[in-house]
Amino acid sequence: MAFRKDFLKLLTEQPRSVSSLARDLGLKRADMEEDLRHAIRSARAAGHRIDILPARCRTCGFTFDEQKLSKPGKCPACRGTRLFEPQILVTAR
């Protein structure tokens, strides 16, 4: 997909969430996750460093797994819905 190179360009500028990438590229958030995973794999294969700040709960501080790139619905610890989205940053080596 042609947008995958755009993902990497946007992710090298500053940490971004899936929602902000979707908004900037004019896509739906739900459709982006698979393409984003592919772009991350390609960046790793090219020797870039991928930093993922995982999603976390604003209420209790629970930290989700780094593999979850989309915003979770609820916190499994406190059932709160106030969550920070995961942030992704790509840095060239």
CA-based torsion, 77, 81, 82, 87: positive or negative = positive
Residue range 61-67: average pLDDT? 92
- Residues 5, 39: Cα–Cα separation, whole Å: 7
pLDDT at position 23:
86
Has residue 4 got a pLDDT over 90? no
What residues contact residue 67 under an 8 Å CB cut-off, 6+ apart? none
CATH topology of domain 3-91: Arc Repressor Mutant, subunit A (1.10.10)
Structure tokens at 39: 């772009």
Residue range 27-54: average pLDDT? 86
pLDDT at position 26:
82
pLDDT at position 81:
94
pLDDT at position 79:
95
Per domain, the residue ranges of the chain are 3-91
In degrees and rounded to multiples of 5, residue 18 shows phi and psi of -60, -40
pLDDT at position 1:
47
Query: Is 5 strand, coil or helix?
Result: helix
- Residues 86, 67: Cα–Cα separation, whole Å: 10
